Structure 1
């Protein structure tokens, strides 16, 4: 439920506040916990751990262009399936984070149906929604990070079994 989501997101507000403060004043330093590596011509890139993460550690904040118009469905997170997003005139609108042309390492996390070691968590802070990637289990050094994109992602796409 949305209430459960908001309760869990409250636990991560201090980390989101710290990251936003550091980015805003120019003191944010990437701790090097994530790196990107080429996998193959089908999967292309993957996101890997360059240090060990414990369960519930923050891997990063998914970033991109907040928009109502997607350029591509490959690198987008949509908020509308969680809650109705409305504009100033109280009309429902579609709101997404599109990381196709603007984004960070988080967009390279690949999908796995089961046994994912990463998860997405929606955090509301100062009336803004943020998508955090967190460790769902211990992630060891050089282990690929997998999340579940959700069933809607695969509606018009081919899934490969590796």
Structure 2
């Protein structure tokens, strides 16, 4: 769920200026800043409220909200690729979507669907949906890849 942060009008305008200069949105500018700080070691790469762990032959993604999905360890990179490329998972790319549905989606029951400016991961057991902004979906993909190593 989006959080609203109060900034002085001058800072908000500076963010708009940076975004325009980089042909990005303000959330993309902020995501770039956060990723730069992760790269510097200022904060860990883990996404607050999400726990990605390896439990033997599986990867488990748990959210503080109670959402949980489990996938086979070997399929972690497939889910990561799908999340990373989720901005492209549209009707204009039905072949990739079909491969997902017939592959990992069919195997595990985990579904990933576009939702506005993000995606939703759907649990096969509870049918609960976990929404992610597209840039956070990329960060989750990186966590899944790291866990699958």
**TM-score by structure 2 length?**
0.30
Q: Larger % of strand: which? A: 1
Higher helix proportion, which one? 2
Give the TM-score of the pair, scaled to structure 1. 0.28
